[in-house]
Amino acid sequence: MGKETNYLLEFTFDTLLNVFNYERVPFMKKYYFCKLMNLVDTRLLKQGVDIGYPEFWYMYGPITDFAIVDGIIDHGFTNRYYPDNENVIYPAQHRRNYDIDLKDRRIIESTIQTIWSKYRFETGDNIKAENYKQNSPYKFNTTFQDFIRVVDNDNQTSTPKEVLISNLLDKLLSEFPQNDLSEIEDFYLEWDDTIRLVLDLKDSKRKMELVKVLKGKFWSTFSKGIRLRVNKNIPDEKLAMWSEEYQKAITQQYKDVERIREAIILEDSEINIEPDEYIVKSLMQTAYHIGI
């Protein structure tokens, strides 16, 4: 038995790419495409049109699950829309007739025209910011994007970088979604405490290198938890695989952060740290729960 084509999804893709790029100029990266589709699908669902779009939130915001799309689009997404393995392009051999309801067709066309009018001149990063503004799973996710920008910015700023990072750590601590991600709370508090220790290092270069490493370790793990909770039209077997990857990541990255922490404590005597680890962690737990 052959696969059942999702004509609503195919029509949405075709319309989006035709409206934004009817000349088929190779400029739209997958990153840009995913961010546009997030805005389109959100508006369609609010109007009662479910196109069966497979999507999940991950490290870089909303992501299209292209592996799933390959199985529900004639000739696959990659062959049909991604011929040069670099840009998503309106297909030359597009479908003339789609087996979809006329009302749904008009809603899709109208929605995409609205998106085009509002975002046609925006960069991928600006559209990503709009995704976070409209659909961010938690405030924590949005604030962490600010944290990433500050950490990765190597240019000098009027405010010392350590101060900016410390302020964002305080904000993140108050926004952490404890109820939904309780399984990662201990890891998060350990990570937060370790980052703050790193900020006390005197060697500026080593300090920022470690902050970047720690940022990546936490964000990649946290994102694995987010994609399990914020996704659409993802099959159960894939969710089970993601769950296993998430549990392994928590265990491994927790160990890695603890090793970094221990190395800092042992090697850098200028850090004045309470020797009783239990007291340190208890203080962090208390600060978190009272919302400091």
In a domain, 1, yes or no: no
Of 121, 144, 176, which marks where a domain is finished? 121
pLDDT tops 50 at residue 275: no
Quick one: 265 exposed, middle or buried, by C-beta within 10 A (0-12, 13-18, 19+)?
A: middle
Query: Using an 8 Å Cβ cutoff, are 71 and 3 in contact?
Result: yes
In a domain, 131, yes or no: no
Of 61, 65, 63, which Cα lies nearest the Cα of 132? 61
End-to-end CA, the chain: 59
Residues 155 and 217 reside in one and the same domain: yes
In a domain, 130, yes or no: no
Query: Using an 8 Å Cβ cutoff, are 53 and 41 in contact?
Result: yes
Of 121, 149, 181, which marks where a domain is finished? 121
In a domain, 111, yes or no: yes
In a domain, 259, yes or no: yes
**Residue type, position 249, single letter:** A
Residues 170 and 115 reside in one and the same domain: no
Supply 187's token pair. Answer: 């890891």
Residue 184 carries which DSSP code? G
Residues 56 and 180 reside in one and the same domain: no
In a domain, 114, yes or no: yes
Query: Using an 8 Å Cβ cutoff, are 83 and 12 in contact?
Result: no
Residues 164 and 198 reside in one and the same domain: yes
Rg, Å, the chain Cα set: 23
Task: Return the percentage of the chain with pLDDT > 90, whole number.
Answer: 74
Q: What is the structure's pLDDT at 144?
A: 98
Where in the chain does DSSP place strands (E)? 55-58, 61-64, 231-232
Q: Model confidence over 148-168: pLDDT tens digits?
A: 999 999 887 888 999 999 999
Of 90, 121, 152, which marks where a domain is finished? 121
Calculate the alpha carbon distances from 252 to 164, 190, 259, 279 in Å.
28, 13, 11, 24
For residue 255, how many C-alpha atoms fall within 13 Å in the half-sphere facing its CB? 5
The total number of structural domains in the chain stands at 2
Residues 208 and 149 reside in one and the same domain: yes
If pLDDT is split at 50, 70 and 90, which confidence band does 3 have?
low
Residue 75 carries which DSSP code? T
Of 20, 34, 9, 22, which Cα lies nearest the Cα of 108? 9
Q: What's the CA angle centered on 67, arms 64 and 72, to 5 degrees?
A: 90
In a domain, 233, yes or no: yes
The reported pTM is: 0.86
Q: What is the mean pLDDT of residues 6-25?
A: 94
HEC states along 20-78? HCCCCCCCCCHHHHHHHHHHHHHHHHHCCCCCCCCEEEECCEEEECHHHHHHHCCCCHH
Task: Give the domain range for residue 184.
Answer: 136-289
User: In angstroms, rounded to a whole number, what is the distance separating the alpha carbons of residues 166 and 156?
Assistant: 16
User: In angstroms, rounded to a whole number, what is the distance separating the alpha carbons of residues 147 and 239?
Assistant: 28
Q: Which of 58-67, 240-249, 274-283 has the lowest mean pLDDT?
A: 274-283
Residues 175 and 107 reside in one and the same domain: no
pLDDT tops 50 at residue 244: yes
Q: What is the mean pLDDT of residues 138-146?
A: 97
Supply 31's token pair. Answer: 């990153």
With residue 281 as reference, give the H or E element that holds it: helix 277-289
In a domain, 129, yes or no: no
Q: Model confidence over 200-237: pLDDT tens digits?
A: 998 889 999 999 999 999 999 999 999 999 999 999 99
Residues 150 and 246 reside in one and the same domain: yes
If pLDDT is split at 50, 70 and 90, which confidence band does 273 have?
very low
Residues 166 and 248 reside in one and the same domain: yes
Quick one: 22 exposed, middle or buried, by C-beta within 10 A (0-12, 13-18, 19+)?
A: exposed
Of 163, 133, 137, which Cα lies nearest the Cα of 150? 163
Residues 110 and 179 reside in one and the same domain: no
Residues 23 and 80 reside in one and the same domain: yes
Beta partners for residue 61, in sequence order:
58
Residues 285 and 143 reside in one and the same domain: yes
Residues 88 and 44 reside in one and the same domain: yes
Q: What is the structure's pLDDT at 238?
A: 97
